[in-house]
Structure 1
Amino acid sequence: MEGGTTRPVRRARGRSAGPSTRLAPWGWPVLLTVLITAPLLAPGYVVGYDLVFVPDLTLRRDLFGVTTALPRAVPSDVVVALLDELAGGQALNKSVLVAVPLLAGLGVTALWRDLRLGGPLAGAAAVALYVWNPFVAERLRLGAWALLIGYAALPWLVRSALKLRRGDGWAGFLIASALCALTASGGVVGLLVGGLIVLWPGGTKRWPLVGALVLNLPWLVAGLARTTAATTDPASVPAFAARDEGYGGVLPTLLTLGGVWNANVVPGSRGDLVPVVLAFVMLAASVVGVVLWYRRDRIVIALILAAVLSVGIGLVGVLAPSAFATVVDRVPGAGLFRDGQRFLGPLALLEAIGFGAAVAALLKVSPLKWLVGATAALLPIAALPQLIGAGLKVSQYPADWEQARTVIAAGGPSGEFIPWPFESYRAPTWNGRRPVLDPMPRYFDRAAVVPDELIVGGHRLAGEDPRASAVATALRTAVRTGADPTSELLGQGVGWIVVDREAGGPQPRQLIPRLSEVFTGPTVAVYRLDGTPTPQRVAPWVAVFVFTAWAAAVAVLLAAIAGLAGDLHRRRSSL
């Protein structure tokens, strides 16, 4: 009788205290997400710099990496082309913006609960720092959505890697690895963090690392299978090197999670007195918290090593620019690391958990726990108020773009198109003159020769695609000498020209006499070159290798999804 009476009492206490204790921490990431993204959920598209979503991205061979260009958007463009068939590009655009802070915050919440370093108030501080920091703000403004999805998956990856060391969680580990692998830099970070934790002495299951590597094969094989060297302009090293944002040097700027190469996306408060003080207070607290975490569990060393390596990558273009410029000029693929600041995800996660651990220690001795905890959770917001709305705006594509899209799609197999002017970025009036990677190659159904030269700090950096280089050279020669570039364009497979009429500059008819006008609208015009474009064929072995890599990655992902579904079913059955 005594045992039978005490058991219900314990359950009753758990029920009365449980819901608020369990659910409240999960509401904090939702609130942060609303603050960041609510202004962006109005009808329209949020586009800026590399954030480019269109109504319907057509699934084409070049999106898989079977092309002469470097696989900068492999596999993310294929994922977008598949998902926008379900809900449309606009809904997918909004979903991605919401997913970044929400997945990041929920991931830290789940990881914090498993680490047991403190209570929900301290966990809220850790979540706030990981969701609300300069790295997220700058990369959102720069449009690096695929990188940020990988950043959001990082705490989930660490959580599943820790479970993997105990012989469980392989499916979650692979799914988190797949999210990291949406872009090459995110894939590198995922392999680095996951590999260090899983391979750290004491783990019991390591084979999922092979699966994580296979998930990265689409971009890796597409880059290695190019028939031309994937080297990079050495001038891009100083152009993309991390910058001091008023924090006493590049290293302190990186340690406070800033330092992006593009000054135009740096929040205006960076470098002001109050944000500087708050940033260093949080950094100092993070260091203390990491020490406390280390005393409890030595596995934190793996994440410390990942964070140190990420900072080292961020500094290499600053400390050894000449040597690194030589490397990117001679070593294929080394240009991936020229923008070193984008690899700071492991540091951000380490600092966030450390910050939470320090707050947890403070709460143990503080008489005003709620006040101290709430203040700590609000510090990241106070240091960076510009993240509200993310500094982005909603726009609408011009109506005549859809008309032009229909015209081009009905044109038959008569070659690819080039955007005009032949430049990577533009600042259209319909986007409020905000710079954006030219949306035309994604908006229109037909494949395009995409310009990949970049202008940074007034200097033009050479691209890596030989076809784009040939087209750009032919057009510049036409401007300089008046030579007709039609033969060269046809030889590169170009059969169409799509003109941004608001961009200004020389018009196609001034340089290319053999053109037929097909469509003209208020903002866009379409021309067809007179002649037959040379079909651009890729070596069969390239296609075989690339699509084999895709097949292997898809197989691993499906196996992981099936494994996760099986785990969920077993948990429900046990409950």
Structure 2
Amino acid sequence: MSGSGPARRDRWARFVPAGYSGLLAAVIAGPLLGPGYLLLRDAVSTPRSYMTDSALGLGDAAARAVPQDALLAALSPFVDGGLIVKTILLVALWAAGYGAAVLAMELLRVSTGPQLVAVTVAMWNPYVAERLLQGHWSLLTGYAALPWTALAAYRIRTRRSITSGATSRRKPPTAEATEGSATVTAEHPKMRAPSGAAADQGTIIGTDCGKKSAFRSSAVGSWAALTGCFAVAGLTPTGALLAGCTAVVLVGRRNLLGTLALLLATSAPWLTATALSGAGSDPSDPAGIAAFAARAEPALGTLGALAGLGGIWNADSVPDSRTTPLALIATVLLLALVAIGIRTTAGIKTGVTRRRADDVESDIATTHSAQPDVATSRDDAACAGGIDRAALQVRRGLLVLAAFAVVLPAVGATSWGMSGMEWLVARMPGAGLLRDTQKYVALAMPAYVLCAAAGCRAIAVRCTANAAATSSRTPAMTLTATGLIALLMLPLFDVAWGVGGALRPVHYPVGWQRVAERIDGPGDVAVLPGGMFRQFPYSGKVAVLDPAPRMLPRDVLQTGELPVHGRTVAGEGARARKVENALLHGDSAQRLGELGVGWVLVERTTPGPLGESKTTLAQLDSVYADTQLALYRVPDATDHFKQSQSTHRVVAYAAHILWAGLLVGGLLLAAIVRPRPNR
């Protein structure tokens, strides 16, 4: 009976990080819990989307929103599209935090307090705030998948070493070697306990793991989890690259081929769309390199901003706190905590003994809480079993990945770095995916959360060691974790409630629905005024992407041109550019028909160039008009541009079905055949 209380507390402690992650997600995205739609810069959600060629990635522009647009088009006839986007965003925020806690628990064996610090670092940081303000809700799904991808890669690496009977050739560590050093687990089949007094001194380093079938089942679950992570991250091409880089670095050489095959399969929608449409086959505009380079922040410079998980190219997509000295304070606090924990994460020997660490870690929510913390030297790591070696290699791999994720974007923001990137994108098709280099700072997040968790534990250990009057062990960790969470959150106070209220739902005029109902004939849709960005009375002061492509049942032609810092970065929409020029120059309705245009939508309440479009509109049939929108039909329009794409659509559908199958199947199989944590 005496052990029932601690056991019950341990079981409940497992749910604390999940609940805390949900609380932070609600605090961050709180305004979106109400009715309405997300319409902020690049984020566009609508009540209903349609399975157009553009949604499949077969339009004129590059397939940047594939397969997210197809997913919304498939689900929005049954569930409101705005609700789908808000749900995905909230789940992504929650998954990022909870994944950080699980990763820290499994790779570092930390207790609840350090796990909560890891959750805070993963969710409450400039990267999340800036990408929310930029409207990159789908990119955050790739960000959220990173800790889970690292965890799946670790488990795959571990299972392979177990099933292959891998074991160290060195002698088992003695009690003196293990004190305050390597976490020695009891799952390696080749590790046998020494007899006699040596066993009583803690030199037992492993036991038989059971039947091989159990390991095979666990391996299936690990691969299924990696498949699900790839599919979730693959909601956008950049997310797929983030998860792919993480897995490739961590899974080990023997698992590399299978990992790459899974990555290609889950990336099939945008890879297929790029190959079929040809939009991504041409080099990108080199002007985009300077426009999207990482940006320096006050008193930090570019490298400091990136190291603090900030530095987005758009100064308007930055929380107000990052424009004040608070940016420096927040970055120093974060990096100090990371620096304290980096030695433990990297497995470098420290002076902390096993007994002292166990005193502080009494509240750990596993039956293996009495194990030492981490491998603390290369020799100790080599002496540990395959699982511990894998954990150490994964942790070190994440640290190396974090270093590259911070340094390379900083190099890319220098004059010679930008020159090199301009040369690359001008000659290599598809290299435009790399122009927003600050996106890839997300790769540093898994290492940061591990270092933060280890740093929290190290601080608590030191405080306990120096406080002779401290008799209770749990309060020391609780106070340390609470203090660190407060220090991390306060300098970034405006991350709360939709990043200072900027992330709020909007309500579309009823005219949008009426226009969509009246587009019932052939031909694509051209939109006036020219350009892709709008500023409606109901969308606030921030320019937003035109919702027409996701609101209307026909393809909406867009040039892909992006206005950035007073310059224009060219897009891939060659036919859309011809159509826009024809409208602005007042060309004939016949010319629009030749270009495959069947409809012209005029958005009356947003600024933008109209040119001589009145001349062209006078030749068209008026179908609908109100104070917000006006719709015109082009006489004798045809779908001759669509007829040659029937085969392409079949292939694109197949690629999307493959992705959806891997997404649902991977997540379900991972949930059914849950990999046992490597403890």
What is the one-letter code of the residue matched to 1:498? L
The alpha carbon displacement at 1:546 in A equals 3.7
After the TM superposition, which residues 365-376 of structure 1 pair with which residues of structure 2 at under 5 Å, given as runs?
365-367=462-464, 368-376=476-484
Q: Counterpart of 2:545?
A: 437
Q: Counterpart of 2:176?
A: none
Q: Counterpart of 1:3?
A: none
What is the one-letter code of the residue matched to 1:307? A
> Distance between the aligned counterparts of 1:356 and 1:266, measured in 2?
27
Question: Paired residue for 2:397, among 277, 302, 307?
Answer: 302
Are the aligned partners of 1:492 and 1:534 in contact in 2 as well (CA < 8 Å)?
no
Are the aligned partners of 1:278 and 1:383 in contact in 2 as well (CA < 8 Å)?
yes
After the TM superposition, which residues 167-186 of structure 1 pair with which residues of structure 2 at under 5 Å, given as runs?
167=159, 168=219, 169-186=222-239
- Change in Cα spacing, 1:534 to 1:83, as seen in structure 2 (3 Å) is closer
Structure of larger gyration radius: 2
Is 1:402 the equivalent of 2:505?
Answer: no
> Distance between the aligned counterparts of 1:204 and 1:503, measured in 2?
53
Is 1:514 the equivalent of 2:514?
Answer: no
> Distance between the aligned counterparts of 1:566 and 1:123, measured in 2?
25
> Distance between the aligned counterparts of 1:274 and 1:117, measured in 2?
33
Farther off after superposition, 132-141 or 205-214:
205-214
> Distance between the aligned counterparts of 1:298 and 1:284, measured in 2?
23
> Distance between the aligned counterparts of 2:639 and 2:664, measured in 1?
39
Is 1:567 the equivalent of 2:673?
Answer: yes
Are the aligned partners of 2:89 and 2:140 in contact in 1 as well (CA < 8 Å)?
no
> Distance between the aligned counterparts of 2:326 and 2:256, measured in 1?
47
What is the one-letter code of the residue matched to 1:524? L
The alpha carbon displacement at 1:337 in A equals 0.7
What is the one-letter code of the residue matched to 2:233? C
Q: Which runs of 5+ in 2 are unaligned?
A: 160-218, 348-374, 376-391, 465-475
Question: Paired residue for 1:379, among 483, 487, 490?
Answer: 487
| 1:103-135 Cα distance to aligned partner (Å, 9 max, x none) | 111111221221234221111111101101000
Are the aligned partners of 2:108 and 2:345 in contact in 1 as well (CA < 8 Å)?
no
The alpha carbon displacement at 1:511 in A equals 4.3
Farther off after superposition, 424-433 or 86-95:
86-95
The alpha carbon displacement at 1:82 in A equals 2.1
Q: Counterpart of 2:37?
A: 45
> Distance between the aligned counterparts of 1:472 and 1:323, measured in 2?
33
> Distance between the aligned counterparts of 1:187 and 1:386, measured in 2?
29
Is 1:280 the equivalent of 2:329?
Answer: no
Are the aligned partners of 1:496 and 1:528 in contact in 2 as well (CA < 8 Å)?
yes
What is the one-letter code of the residue matched to 1:164? I
| 1:80-115 Cα distance to aligned partner (Å, 9 max, x none) | 222323421122132123122211111112212212
Q: Counterpart of 1:192?
A: 245
After the TM superposition, which residues 209-248 of structure 1 pair with which residues of structure 2 at under 5 Å, given as runs?
209-227=260-278, 229-248=281-300
| 1:42-74 Cα distance to aligned partner (Å, 9 max, x none) | 211121011111001112333122233210111
> Distance between the aligned counterparts of 1:335 and 1:524, measured in 2?
34
- Change in Cα spacing, 1:427 to 1:550, as seen in structure 2 (3 Å) is same
SS of the residue aligned with 1:536?
Answer: coil
| 1:286-328 Cα distance to aligned partner (Å, 9 max, x none) | 1331221111323222212322332344235412212211221
Are the aligned partners of 1:70 and 1:230 in contact in 2 as well (CA < 8 Å)?
no
Is 1:490 the equivalent of 2:593?
Answer: yes
Q: Counterpart of 1:451?
A: 559
Farther off after superposition, 270-279 or 138-147:
270-279
- Change in Cα spacing, 1:566 to 1:27, as seen in structure 2 (3 Å) is closer
- Change in Cα spacing, 1:145 to 1:485, as seen in structure 2 (3 Å) is farther
Are the aligned partners of 1:313 and 1:341 in contact in 2 as well (CA < 8 Å)?
no
Q: Which runs of 5+ in 1 are unaligned?
A: 1-7
> Distance between the aligned counterparts of 1:97 and 1:386, measured in 2?
18
TM-score with structure 1 setting the length: 0.90
- Change in Cα spacing, 1:542 to 1:269, as seen in structure 2 (3 Å) is same
SS of the residue aligned with 1:455?
Answer: strand
Are the aligned partners of 1:165 and 1:205 in contact in 2 as well (CA < 8 Å)?
no
Q: Counterpart of 2:191?
A: none
- Change in Cα spacing, 1:407 to 1:548, as seen in structure 2 (3 Å) is closer
Are the aligned partners of 1:186 and 1:343 in contact in 2 as well (CA < 8 Å)?
no
Q: Counterpart of 2:528?
A: 420
Higher relative contact order (CA 8 A, sep 6+): 2
Q: Counterpart of 1:467?
A: 575
Q: How many residues align?
A: 552
Are the aligned partners of 1:240 and 1:338 in contact in 2 as well (CA < 8 Å)?
yes
Are the aligned partners of 1:279 and 1:383 in contact in 2 as well (CA < 8 Å)?
no
- Change in Cα spacing, 1:305 to 1:544, as seen in structure 2 (3 Å) is farther
Identity of aligned pairs, percent?
29
